[in-house]
Amino acid sequence: MSTQQHIRIAVDAVVFGYESQKGLSILLIKRGIEPFRDYWALPGGLVLEEESLEQAVLRELQEETGITLDYLEQLYTFGEPKRDPRNRVISVSYFGLVRPNHFDTKASTDAVEAEWFSIRNTPNLAFDHQKILDTAKERLRGKLSYQPIGFDLLSEEFPFSDLEHLYTSILEKDIDRRNFRKKIMSFGILEETSKFRQEGSGRPAKLFRFNTKKYKALEKAGFHFEIKFV
């Protein structure tokens, strides 16, 4: 306790969004200050004295991007001494998901630009943010298989094909549509609505809704969500 630390603590957020046409996207901001001025970076910043880490993430996201999250969890803490070229900054990174209807990045108070980038085409990132992003991508792929987290990337009501596309595009594996649907349906965590949606031509698709209550109940009863691919 005797030596004074000069380490600072920040939070950074990897926020994913998904649309069936554009695929997976990630939310980035353009830095207005050195170091890495004009580089794209993960939204984030220093933690204030009296706020929790989660509060810090939500505040920074609000300030820098105006976004509202649908899911948030801690990802990993990156603390290498040289990850920030100036001072030592430890970053507690978070993993967030946003539904398409919450995509809009309102004008931010900080006058920083916030923009969605396709995951297939991200710019050079500041600091070690590429490493953080890679960790988050891994986490996303991992979680898709054993947690019903994909629903937090879709609209409240979605056609079944959106779920298929989400899985195939993120996991980069083919699935058997019949088996996939059978499996998901067997869990009993999707509610049919009486609505339909149609994009362009083709048969209109029935819309479904994820039943959070039912899932919570099943989970408590020992049920484990799991989707495997070949």
Partner DNA sequence: CCAAAAGTGTTCCACCTACACCCATGG
Partner DNA sequence: CCATGGGTGTAGGTGGAACACTTTTGG
Q: Give the interface with DNA as residue ranges (CB under 7 A).
A: 159-161, 176-179, 181-183, 186, 198-206, 228-230
Torsion of Cα atoms, 79 then 81 then 83 then 88, to 10°: 90
Cα 221 from chain centroid (whole Å)? 28
Query: CB count, 10 Å around CB of 223?
Result: 14
Shortest Cβ 56–a copy of itself spacing (Å): 8
Query: At 94, is the secondary structure helix, strand, or coil?
Result: strand
Please identify, using beta-carbon distances, which residue of 20 and 135 lies nearer to a copy of itself: 135
Q: Which of a copy of itself, DNA, none interacts with 161 (beta carbon under 5 to 8 A by kind)?
A: DNA
Reference 87, options 1, 197, 5; nearest CA is: 5
53 is a contact residue toward a copy of itself (CB under 8 A): yes
The alpha carbon dihedral of 198, 202, 204, 205 has a sign of: negative
Q: Is 112 in the site for a copy of itself (CB under 8 A)?
A: no
One residue of 32, 37, 38, 46 binding a copy of itself per CB under 8 A: 46
The length of the chain in residues reads 230
Interface positions, 72-101, toward a copy of itself (CB under 8 A):
74, 76-77, 79-81, 88, 90, 92
Active site residue 113: yes
The verdict on 5 binding a copy of itself (CB under 8 A) reads yes
- Closest approach of a copy of itself to the CB of residue 150, in Å: 20
Element (H, E) at 19: strand 8-19
Q: Strand 205-210's sheet: what is its strand order? A: 157-159, 205-210, 190-197
Q: Which stretch binds a copy of itself (CB under 8 A): 3-11, 63-71, 110-118, 193-201?
A: 3-11
The partner in contact with residue 73, picked from a copy of itself, DNA, none with C-beta cut-offs of 5 to 8 angstroms by kind, is none
